[in-house]
Structure formats: structure tokens, C-alpha cells
Amino acid sequence: MDSGMTIALLGGGTGAGATTALVALATRAHAAHRRVVVVDADACGGGIDVAFGIETVPGVRWEDLLGSDGPLDGERLLERLPSRDDGPQVLSFGRQWCELPAGLLDRAVTAVRPVCDLVLVDLGRAAAAMRTERYDHVLLVARGTPSGLAAAGATVQRLGARPMLVVRGLREAPALDVAGALRLDLAGCLPDDRHLAVDLERGVPAGSRARSAYAGACDRLLRDLVVAAEAAA
């Protein structure tokens, strides 16, 4: 994996599963011995640290960086971010809402990119207001239902860049048809997994079940993105 690859994810409508997919991708990349940083840009998401089961782990969160100016020290920031013993570093919101200045997000991603293999950014609900062209890949996660795909189509119209589509709950052939209708490239398909909700309640990150079909699909998605980046280099 090329050093400093940045991948941003957003959901096509409520309940698309973008955050779950991001957590699983981060977990799988970390399991492959990559240095991974997760950046939570969704101020209304409740904190992605919860999805990793580290909401009580001490460490720097966005509110600790408010008011800072100038470049951030990426290596020092990574050392101060919370993480599981077997998981990536996470820059998240705490339990109290705070507004994330766009400039601070830029500086954080710029700081950590040179000192890690992969930066995964959860764009969340504010994606339309963000400069998505700054990332190597932007993935739009959509449910493979009529309402989910309609929401994905509406989301595409709000973005300044064309994301790649990730469809949850469809096989590749119909997912390719959907991507073609939306005029998007298909990045991959994710199966539905009934264990994900139970694992979240237990503080087990998505992607931790290495032999599950969901984890396998995330492994393939990561591999394809890396191959595409190497081919473009």
C-alpha cells in the first residue's frame, strides 16, 4: 500500500452503513500490518470511537485541538490518539458536540498522511460542504434497495466530485447495473451481516471476524483500491 493513501467514505442516505464499512476497512488494513489512522469528520455522528469500543480510552479528540493554529506534528499526534491494542489510531469527537473547522480537518489529514499507510475519513452528513477532491478515493456507500439507491443518486448530485460506489446487499451484476445508471464506477459490494449490530453493542469493531464474508469483501475492496492507485502511479 502506498504511503499516505487517503480514502473518504460517506453514506447515500440514512442507514447506508458507511461508518460500519469504514471501521471494517480500518480493522482489516490494521490486521494486514498497515499503519492506519481513522479521522472522524462527522460532528453529528456521536463519535466514531464508539464503533471501535474505545470511547472511554484516554487520548486526544477534536475538542483538544480546537484553537490550535499552524501545522500539526503528525507523529506526535498519532502517539496521543486513542486506540485498541489491536486497532488503528482514531481521531474522533468526544461526547459533547463541537463544530469542526474545515481548516483543522485539513491540517490534521495533512499532518498524519506522511507518517502512516492509510488515512480513512468518515465524511458523514457534512460531506457536501467538504472538498472531496483532496482525497485519493471517495467511496459512496449505498444500500441495495430502491430507497437506498435513490438516496445515493441524490447524494451524488450534492457532491463536487464523482465518488466510487460501494453497494451493500447486492451481488456484483446488479450492482454494476446500478453504478452504470448513476454514472459511477463500482468499487465493490458488501454483504449484509447480522453479526455487525451485535458486535457493535459489545464493543467489537466491524471487520474483526476475519473469516466472515463481510471482512473478506473489505479485504478485496482494499486490495482493488491499492492496485488501482499503483496502476495510476
pLDDT at 1 over 50: no
- What percent of the chain has pLDDT above 90? 73
**Which region among 48-57, 69-78, 98-107, 222-231 has the lowest average model confidence (pLDDT)?**
222-231
**Predicted pLDDT of residue 130:** 62
Domain boundaries of the chain, sorted by first residue:
5-232
Digit-coded pLDDT (tens) for 24-76: 999 999 999 999 999 999 888 888 999 999 999 999 999 999 988 889 999 99
Confidence of residue 96 (pLDDT cuts 50, 70, 90): confident
3-state secondary structure the chain: CCCCEEEEEEECCCCCCHHHHHHHHHHHHHHCCCCEEEEECCCCCCCCCCCCCCCCCCCCCHHHHCCCCCCCCHHHHHHHCCCCCCCCEEECCCCCCCCCCHHHHHHHHHHHHHHCCEEEEECHHHHHHCCHHHCCEEEEEEECCHHHHHHHHHHHHHCCCCCEEEEECCCHHHHHHHHHHHCCCEEEEECCCCHHHHHHHCCCCCCCCCCCHHHHHHHHHHHHHHHHHHHHC
Q: Which pLDDT does position 54 carry in this prediction?
A: 95
- The radius of gyration computed from the CA coordinates of the chain, to the nearest angstrom, equals 17
* pLDDT of res. 227: 72
Give the pLDDT confidence score for residue 231 in this predicted structure: 58
Determine the topology of domain 5-232 in CATH: Rossmann fold (3.40.50)
Predicted TM-score (pTM) of the model is 0.93
Q: Is the pLDDT of residue 230 over 80?
A: no
Look over the chain and give the mean of its residue pLDDT values, rounded to a whole number: 90
